[in-house]
Amino acid sequence: MHVFVTGGAGFIGANLVEFHLARGDRVTAMDDLSTGIADNVAAFSHYDTYRFERGDILDWRGLAGAVASADRIYHMAAVVGMFRVLNQPVEVTRVNVVGTEMLANAAAMRGVRRMVFVSTSKVNGESTSGVPFTEGASPHPQDPYAVSKWEAEEALRSVAARTGLEIAIVRPPLVYGPGVHANFLRLMKWVERGIPLPLPDIRNRRSLIGVENLADFLVRCARHPAAANATFLVSDGEDLSTRDLITRLAKALGRSARFLPVPELVIRFAARLVGKEAAVDRLFGSLVIDSDTARQSLAWKPPLSLDAGLADTARWYLQSSRPMARPKPALCQ
């Protein structure tokens, strides 16, 4: 099999590339390296079945050439990060929506059979209250990034209906694992250093998925007949409160979780003063997804438990002096 991976030097993309190379598949990865890590390209250079192209998702000629002979496409390239999303709204639409549609058209023109698109659970909304998100629930994207992903999904459905290209859409929640960055990496640093965290004993629930589990599921979507033109919410299957997550992460890091018993109202008031209300809402709120459709329709189960995934993440963090070095993952099912 020959697969084409956009965002192939990024966190999720590099894990997916390594999974396929370990199986003996041919891989063409594309990334503009604006957020991808060059080390994730060099790490695969010794594979005869690996080819990297530094390219632009909006370059039609480059796309059409890059996807030639590919059997499957995984699309993860996107403008991410709240600063970029809020300050580059035109670029968000161009890359996340127009670029996605261009890639799908190029794939259809070249005879690619299926494209797997990594969207986000934020398409469903920012929080849940008692009822988990399901694939059948009405979309409720609230920030520009989530809106762009929803518009990209709609564009893909239109291309699929017009051309016959099979589309599989995957909406993961927070993704963690070896090589993780942003807020999760900052959280590990705080916990590992023993910094007490101002967090009341809240009973929220949040779904997560380990990057190894997500890569395994994406491969299943690329191959399974039932994934054609379907949308899936997928998670590890164990939902934790923020406090429980920190406690388990501390254990994986060989530390004890330390909390400051600051009342929630005090934290929310302070957050309002500094414009961080949305961040506190995510910290205290619940976001639970129902991944039964993914498990039943594709006969899939996560290869790693949540605790095993956290242990892998902690091991990477403790052993690596480079933020994006990753251990070799297990083979996909």
- Catalytic annotation present for 50: no
| DSSP codes joined into one string, 128-159 | -SSS-B-TTSPP---SHHHHHHHHHHHHHHHH
Look at residues 137, 112, 213 and name the one whose alpha carbon lies nearest to residue 172: 213
Q: How many Å apart are CA 181 and CA 37, to the nearest integer? A: 11
Run of H or E including 4: strand 2-6
What pLDDT does 322 receive?
A: 44
What pLDDT does 82 receive?
A: 63
Name the residue ranges covered by the structural domains of the chain: 2-180+208-238+287-304
The one catalytic residue in 50, 74, 145, 317 is 145
| DSSP codes joined into one string, 33-84 | SSSS-THHHHTTTT-TTEEEEE--TT-HHHHHHHTTT-SEEEE-----SHHH
- Band of pLDDT at residue 83, cut at 50, 70 and 90: low
What pLDDT does 85 receive?
A: 64
Q: What is the pLDDT of residues 154-191, one digit of tens each?
A: 999 999 999 999 999 999 999 999 999 888 998 999 99
**What is 2-180+208-238+287-304's CATH superfamily?**
NAD(P)-binding Rossmann-like Domain (3.40.50.720)
Q: What is the pLDDT of residues 16-54, one digit of tens each?
A: 999 999 999 999 999 988 776 778 888 898 999 999 988
Does the pLDDT value for residue 332 go beyond 60? no
Within 10 angstroms of residue 152's Cβ, the number of other Cβ atoms is 26
Q: Which amino acid is at 117?
A: F
- Name the percent of the chain lying above pLDDT 90: 66
Q: How many Å apart are CA 134 and CA 61, to the nearest integer? A: 38
What pLDDT does 112 receive?
A: 95
Q: How many Å apart are CA 63 and CA 61, to the nearest integer? A: 5
- Band of pLDDT at residue 231, cut at 50, 70 and 90: very high
